[in-house]
Amino acid sequence: QRTAVVTGAGRGIGKATVEVLEAQGVRVVGVDLAGADINADLSTPEGRAALEAGVLELCPSGIDVIVANAGVLTDDELSIQVNYFGAVETLERLRPMLRADAPRVVVVASRSVLKPVDDAIVEACLEGDEALAVSLARQSESRHLLYATSKRAIARWIRRNAGLPVWAGAGIALNGVGPGAVLTPMIAERDPAEQARLAVERPMPLGGMATAEEVAELIAFLADARNSKIAGQLIFIDGGGETVMGHEDI
């Protein structure tokens, strides 16, 4: 039986991913702030260590899939801490536990990687300098860029790392997904005016907003052994919205 670790498993895209994987016969170990198989706050060093210890304990013979999904949509440093450093540490700490038979890793990034970002913070992230990235985020005068900045950084990390000997060279397919607007609690809990603003900013030409299940189906494919050759890609799942947005270089 394949075993997957899914972060942010408690609701939204993470919860839907757990359901799709379990329906396919995969054993899933869920990670979240509370109420999960492993409770860990991935914005902190302690939480990231607790994730690693928890997976070692629950999966002593190893794992096959990592889905780094946990994320927050905030205008402060928390986006950098969770969406970039939390994700990267999830991948780096769990990578040695991946078994040899079709190991697969999926990061939930975002279509917002295409938006304007704070380049100095992206740079600090890719240097692995969390203290600097957080301090730049705290001083930022363009805090509305911080979410997209965290996602651009993780997308670039995927592109830089996926082809290396420790990833593709070791048989591990590492990919990202870039959802457009998905109707999850992250969006639904915002006030109607902000939701309306987000809807205008986030075009979804093919049939409107996505459901969490639609994104989970893509994640499950990338996580499956049938995905034998896709690696290093950021796959937008946004109803073609990316084609009608202004582009930045990823």
Nearer to ligand NAI, 1 or 193 (CB): 193
Sign of the dihedral defined by the CA atoms of residues 215, 76, 199, 239, in that order: negative
Nearer to ligand NAI, 2 or 151 (CB): 151
Under the binding rule (CB under 6 A), the answer on residue 8 touching ligand NAI is yes
Residues sharing a CB contact under 8 Å with residue 59, sequence separation 6 or more, in sequence order: 3, 5, 29, 97
167-to-44, 92, 132, 223 alpha-carbon distances in Å: 25, 10, 27, 14
Find the part of the chain contacting ligand NAI (CB under 6 A) among 36-44, 54-62, 113-121, 165-173: 36-44
Task: Figure out which of the listed residues 5, 17, 18, 32 binds ligand NAI, where binding follows CB under 6 A.
Answer: 32
**Which of the residues 84, 147, 157, 236 is marked catalytic?**
147
Nearer to ligand NAI, 82 or 97 (CB): 82
Size of the site for ligand NAI (CB under 6 A): 29
Angstrom distance (rounded) from CA 184 to CA 181: 9
Find the part of the chain contacting ligand NAI (CB under 6 A) among 52-60, 164-172, 182-190, 241-249: 182-190
Sign of the dihedral defined by the CA atoms of residues 133, 136, 138, 144, in that order: negative
Tokens of 103: 């190991």
Find the part of the chain contacting ligand NAI (CB under 6 A) among 89-97, 159-167, 175-183, 242-250: 175-183
Query: 6, 67 in Cβ contact below 8 A?
Result: yes
Query: 221, 17 in Cβ contact below 8 A?
Result: no
Nearer to ligand NAI, 63 or 108 (CB): 108
Of residues 83 through 102, those in contact with ligand NAI by CB under 6 A are: 83, 86
1: exposed, middle or buried (Cβ count in 10 Å: 0-12, 13-18, 19+)? exposed
Closest CA to 41 of 67, 76, 62, 72: 72
Task: Figure out which of the listed residues 17, 20, 41, 130 binds ligand NAI, where binding follows CB under 6 A.
Answer: 41
The answer to whether residue 84 is catalytic is no
- Residues marked active site are found at 147
| Residues that bind ligand NAI in the complex, under the rule CB under 6 A | 7-8, 10-14, 32-33, 41-43, 69-73, 82-83, 86, 108, 110, 179, 181-182, 184-187
